Amino acid sequence: MKITFIGFTNIRGGAAKAAVRFQKLLENSGHKALFYSIENNEKKLPFFSKITHRFFWVLSHLLQYNLKSKHSLNIFGSRYIKNKVINAELLHVHWINNETLSIRDFKYLSGKSVITLHDEWFYSATEHYNNTDDCYKQVVEGYNKQSILQGRECLSRFIWKHKKKHYQGLNNVIFTVPSSWLKGRAQQSALLRDRDIRVLPNPIDINVFKHDTSNFNIDDLKHDDFVITFGAVDGSANLVKGFDLLLSALELFAASVDLKRKIKIVTFGGKYQHKSSVFGIQSIELGHIYSEAALASIYSLSSIVIVPSRLESFGQVAAESLSCETPVLAFNCTGLTDVIIHKKNGYLANPFEIESLAEGINWFYQLTNVQLAELGKVGRAHVTDRFSNEIISKQLVAIYKELSSENNIV
């Protein structure tokens, strides 16, 4: 099979990372997969497209009055991507915001596309995540006039109605989501409740993400340290990733223990490398980690990895950590519940209770090294059985073949 991948980028961000992994799965299975994106091909874009893309990008950023969620419009779109979509035999559509593909051009995806939802934008209005019950209520019931409380939300209603109109031309496609939580949200939405939606987790290369400390060294760590690790794109600046909640929990935890010199905090994903102290505990910021082998070593050097996210469509960091036999602490919510089994391979705290998160840190801290290792082994087995390349590759190819057969694609 020959599959065309499209997305805004295949360079940065969790969605791009997952998309590239899907592409590699296909190539390793003997299929041809080409990836076309805005970010990689910006020089090929016409001048008018660059100007309009920038204009709508700025406008969508002005909409981000709720700082916990990104907003996108997809009003104009890219002619370059549109032409790739029209000429493709079989498509895998990933994160297509930042004006990658116009909503009115979604009809060209019909009959030949697998569309992976990396967040909630496809069934919402302009927002990528619905952070409150009121926001999600509009997703389920539709953005009617009664639900519009502020004038700035009129644009959200306009985009939702625009989607509803043009989704009528979007037919015979298969939607995939990385978690059962996201599937449930999509199935309840007014826009996608009657669509074919499948759970297809993001693949984890267990041959790369394995317990191995040889590819990265952190000088300040000692073999008997209790190492707490946190990682996210943009590090502590990303509010969705919950670093503020982690800091509050660490303050409570630090007040309850004496040997702070035996505890280390390691973070990665930020812009800069530096060392500091957090509530009397040494903190080491590693900056952005480009190598997956190095990332696997960081997980392996850790006692626990904490993913205090307010919302995760899957839980990439959590799955990678478990694959490296390092247990994970997170809140009992969203896509993370597919990855973490409470007190079996990790700990699920009550959302979004600081005290419960601190109790989770302390629960791990009280365990012996043997008990931590046992949690890690269960975690790796869970990832191998549900998220490994071998498992996901079979599921992905089967979906493509089903789509090809139903739509007579040779």
Task: Tell me the average pLDDT across 161-188.
Answer: 97
DSSP string, 107-166: GGGTTSEEEE-SSSGGGSSSBSS--SHHHHHHHHH---GGG--SGGGHHHHHHHHHHHHH
8 Å CB contact between 209 and 320: yes
Say yes or no to pLDDT of 149 above 60: no
Task: Tell me the average pLDDT across 160-186.
Answer: 97
Residues of the chain with CATH 3.40.50.2000: 226-386
Give, to the nearest 10 degrees, the angle between helix 316-323 and helix 14-28: 50
Longest distance between any two alpha carbons in the chain, whole Å? 67
Residue with tokens 């490994």: 388
**Distance of alpha carbon 226 from alpha carbon 371, whole angstroms:** 13
Say yes or no to pLDDT of 341 above 50: yes
For the stretch 348-380, pLDDT in tens is: 999 999 999 999 999 999 999 999 999 999 999
For the stretch 71-106, pLDDT in tens is: 888 998 888 999 999 999 999 999 999 889 999 999
For the stretch 105-148, pLDDT in tens is: 999 999 999 999 999 999 999 989 998 888 899 999 988 765 54
| Predicted local distance difference test score (pLDDT) of residue 59 | 66
Percent of the chain exceeding pLDDT 70 equals 90
Provide the terminal-to-terminal Cα distance of the chain, rounded to the nearest Å. 8
DSSP string, 276-337: EEETTEEEEE------HHHHHHHHHH-SEEEE--S--SS-HHHHHHHHTT--EEEES-GGGG
CA angle 107, 109, 114 (to 5 degrees): 140
| Predicted local distance difference test score (pLDDT) of residue 39 | 81
Say yes or no to pLDDT of 152 above 70: no
For the stretch 178-215, pLDDT in tens is: 999 999 999 999 999 999 999 999 999 999 999 999 99
| Predicted local distance difference test score (pLDDT) of residue 67 | 41
User: Phi then psi for 229, rounded to 5 degrees?
Assistant: -120, 140
Residue with tokens 């509009």: 138
Fold classification of 226-386 is: Rossmann fold (3.40.50)
- Tell me which residue of 99, 92, 97 sits closest to 116, measured CA to CA: 92
Say yes or no to pLDDT of 169 above 50: yes
Q: Which CATH class is domain 2-203+389-406?
A: alpha beta
Sign of CA dihedral 240, 243, 245, 246: positive
**Residue 66: band (very low, low, confident or very high) from pLDDT cuts 50, 70, 90:** very low
**Distance of alpha carbon 74 from alpha carbon 129, whole angstroms:** 16
